[in-house]
Amino acid sequence: MSRETPLRCVVSDGEKSRQRAARLSLGVGLLSLAVAVSVTALVGSPPLSYQYVPLALSVVVLGLPHGAVDHLVLPRARGDPVTRRSLLLVGLLYLFVGTAYAVLWLLAPVHAFALFILVTLVHWGQGDVYALLALVRADHLKTRTSRLLALVVRGGLPMLVPLIAFPAQYAFVAETIVGLFDPDAVAALEPMFSPAIRTAIAIGFGGLVAFALLRGFFRTGPDGRGPWLVDATETLGLVVYFAVVPPILAIGLYFCFWHSLRHIIRTMLVDSVASTALDRGAIGTAWRRFARDAAPLTVGGLIVLVGIWLSVPQTPASVADVLAVYLVTIAVLTLPHVVVVTLLDREQRIWSP
Ligand SMILES: CC1=C(/C=C/C(C)=C/C=C/C(C)=C/C=O)C(C)(C)CCC1
Ligand SMILES: [Fe+2]
């Protein structure tokens, strides 16, 4: 993408705030991967109870709060005031889309779970495409096709590599989630973890990752290979990370320090107050503003969690069950969140190069 594209001015007026945002997301992201991979390689997989910690923290730190400013981001990105009408529209979106998906969990939990994996793949992929374009200025992703390819690669890494590398833990979490709704339906998940399916995914997805990186390499623009190198480092780093670190831990850390951090930074850049603060290097000011903006609807998310806890047919009885209730809550909240982020993508011309 050339430096003159509209994205630049829509995303942020300040070059300094963009650079700070890029350094923060890349630095924290890669550091988290490196620490988790090194610890796992040196001392082995941490005990299961420790693996839950990042997901437990994500309830209040970065994870759940990252979507809790959805009612503010679109008006801010458009330079419009936040009005009662704009708040109501986002509220209704969450109410209808979230409720419809909650009903699907009750009626067809296996399908609802498959949809959860697909939605997460798309959503985490779209988040990284934004970061590559707006923060890293990836000029090897000029066309919509190359961006779609990047979406599938980046979203596929957290959803597919653990399935290949850690089928037992993946199956355990999947079966616990579906079991909350219908213990008899759990058997329908079995084929997903068969060696044949996993081998096919490994070959197909591995080929796609290699193809996307090579294609990008040959499409780097006049700015040199810097952005492509960032893309390749992140991609290969994530491959190793999800292949080595057990998924409950890996996804917990990724959710907080990769996806949510990047999205929060994105919300700061569309907010004139926070992005001016970032420009000045006043990172604390930007964070305090985010925390204040996100607090009320993070509490709202917790109320949804309680509602789902009370609605699941099987009473949660173990730590794994509690995680499963939390993941269903995330699923139900993520579907409307994806709609908001897709509208934000449109506002920032992520898909119309
Ligand atoms: C924890 C975990 C899983 C799923 C996590 C998912 C799907 C999380 C989605 C989070 C979202 C959508 C956050 C919003 O941005 C797997 C892969 C079943 C396997 C093992 C552990
Ligand atoms: Fe998100």
The pLDDT confidence band at residue 328, using thresholds 50, 70 and 90, is very high
| Bigger pLDDT: 31 vs 223 | 31
Q: How far is the CA of 123 from the centre of ligand 2 (A)?
A: 6
pLDDT of residue 2: 38
67 has a pLDDT exceeding 70? yes
pLDDT of residue 353: 80
pLDDT in tens, 197-225: 999 999 999 999 999 999 999 998 777 79
Q: Would the annotation count 259 as a binding residue?
A: yes
Place of tokens 């009662």: 84
Q: How far is the CA of 111 from the centre of ligand 1 (A)?
A: 15
The pLDDT confidence band at residue 12, using thresholds 50, 70 and 90, is very low
Q: How far is the CA of 149 from the centre of ligand 2 (A)?
A: 19
Give the number of residues written for the chain: 353
57 has a pLDDT exceeding 60? yes
pLDDT of residue 13: 53
Q: What mean pLDDT comes out for the span 79-105? A: 97
Q: Would the annotation count 66 as a binding residue?
A: yes
* Position in ligand 1 atom list of the atom nearest CA 158: 17
Q: Say which residues have a Cβ less than 8 Å from residue 111's Cβ, sequence separation at least 6.
A: 104
Ligand 1 atom 19, closest CA? 170
Residues with CB under 6 A from ligand 1: 116-117, 120, 123, 162, 169-170, 173-174, 247-248, 251, 255, 259, 327, 330, 334
pLDDT of residue 18: 86
Encoded amino acid at 288, one letter: R
Q: How far is the CA of 83 from the centre of ligand 1 (A)?
A: 33
Closest ligand to Cα 266? 2
Place of tokens 């509209």: 6
165 near 243, Cβ under 8 Å?
yes
Q: What mean pLDDT comes out for the span 319-347? A: 97
Average pLDDT of every residue of the chain: 94
Question: For the chain, what percent of residues have pLDDT higher than 70?
Answer: 96
Rounded CA-CA distance 291/235 in Å is: 30
Secondary structure in 3-state letters for the chain? CCCCCHHHHHHCCCHHHHHHHHHHHHHHHHHHHHHHHHHHHHHCCCCHHHHCHHHHHCCCCCCHHHHCCHHHHHHHHHCCCCCHHHHHHHHHHHHHHHHHHHHHHHHCHHHHHHHHHHHHHHHHHHHHHHHHHHHCCCCCCCCHHHHHHHHHHHHHHHHHHHHHHCHHHHHHHHHHHHHHHCHHHHHHHHHHHCHHHHHHHHHHHHHHHHHHHHHHHCCCCCCCCHHHHHHHHHHHHHHHHHHHCCHHHHHHHHHHHHHHHHHHHHHHHCCHHHHHHHHHCCHHHHHHHHHHHHHHHHHHHHHHHHHHHHHCCCCCCCHHHHHHHHHHHHHHHHHHHHHHHHHHHHHCCCCCC
* Position in ligand 1 atom list of the atom nearest CA 333: 14
Encoded amino acid at 184, one letter: D
Global pTM?
0.94
Q: Would the annotation count 71 as a binding residue?
A: no
Q: What mean pLDDT comes out for the span 141-150? A: 96
pLDDT in tens, 249-293: 999 999 999 999 999 999 999 999 999 999 888 999 999 999 999
Closest ligand to Cα 68? 2
Q: Would the annotation count 140 as a binding residue?
A: no
pLDDT of residue 15: 83
Tokens for 269? 């850049």
102 near 332, Cβ under 8 Å?
yes
Q: How far is the CA of 327 from the centre of ligand 1 (A)?
A: 7
Encoded amino acid at 45, one letter: S
